Amino acid sequence: MTQIGVMAVSTVLSVFGWLTLLANVATLFAVGLVIRRNIVKSVSNKTHSIRTQELAALITIAATLGSLYLSEIGDLTPCRWCWIQRIAMYPLALVLLISWITGDRFVRRYAVPIAALGLGASTWHYLLQQIPSLSDANSCSLSTPCSVTYIEKFGFISIPWMAGSVFAMTLVLLLGFRSAESPLDE
């Protein structure tokens, strides 16, 4: 890779780090809104619920494109746990996009479990990076160990943190802003 290519990837990783920090702040703000809404017992309308599904679709699509950029243009080889997170993120983006296009009101039934599994994988991968002794040689390859941290922005944001942030925000959007008319069906 040329020096320009390396610089571009590091710049993109910095942008991804800032976007992740922004997503983390937005997720905390959304959680606060959900808690406040539940305390005040206000009723959300269906339009509000649909808009959060659209936002969830957009952030998962952006995360999918970002991960493809990192591996295909940035030449960062994904480890096994990165692949597991991709196995959750890519279909999640597709499912949310299809639900947005078709107006599927029941997307939560299948999107929430995918996002929850992805969050679990991201959390475990982040722990492997932070506590390398957790990583066992049989679960990760020697050429691409799961404990390698390609990026560490602000002392804590790594690629698994980025993916986990998207999964967490998706869960908050899908579960926290449901329509009051059908709290569990959607």
Residue pLDDT, tens place only, 20-57? 989 989 888 888 887 776 655 554 444 455 588 899 99
**9-45: b (≥16 Cβ within 10 Å) or e:** beebbeebbebbbebbebbeebeeebeeeeeeeeebe
Strand ranges in 55-179 using DSSP code E only, listed in sequence order: none
Residue 181 falls within a domain, yes or no?
A: no
Indicate if the alpha-carbon torsion angle 162, 145, 74, 71 is positive or negative: negative
Structure token digits, residue 150: 């390609």
Residue 86 falls within a domain, yes or no?
A: yes
Residue 44 falls within a domain, yes or no?
A: yes
Residue 183 banded pLDDT, cuts 50, 70, 90: very low
Average pLDDT of the chain is: 81
pLDDT in tens, 72-99: 888 888 888 889 999 999 999 999 999 9
Structure token digits, residue 77: 């080889």
Question: Most confidently modeled of 29-33, 42-46, 130-134, 179-183?
Answer: 29-33
φ and ψ at residue 153, rounded to 5 degrees: -100, 140
Inter-residue contact 174 to 183 (CB < 8 Å): no
3-state helix, strand, coil in the chain (%, to 5): 70, 0, 25
Residues 6+ apart with CB under 8 A from 110: 95
Residue 186 falls within a domain, yes or no?
A: no
Residue 66 falls within a domain, yes or no?
A: yes
pLDDT score for 140: 65
pLDDT score for 184: 46
More confident residue, 2 or 140: 140
> How many structural domains compose the chain?
1
Residue 61 falls within a domain, yes or no?
A: yes
Residue 184 falls within a domain, yes or no?
A: no
pLDDT score for 51: 82
pLDDT greater than 60 at residue 112: yes
Q: State the Cα–Cα distance between residues 148 and 137, nearest whole angstrom.
A: 13
Residue 117 falls within a domain, yes or no?
A: yes
Q: State the Cα–Cα distance between residues 57 and 166, nearest whole angstrom.
A: 10
Residues 6+ apart with CB under 8 A from 65: none
pLDDT score for 1: 45
Tell me the residue range of the domain where 14 lies.
3-176
pLDDT score for 113: 96
Inter-residue contact 122 to 116 (CB < 8 Å): no
Predicted structure pTM score: 0.81
Mean pLDDT of the 152-159 span:
84
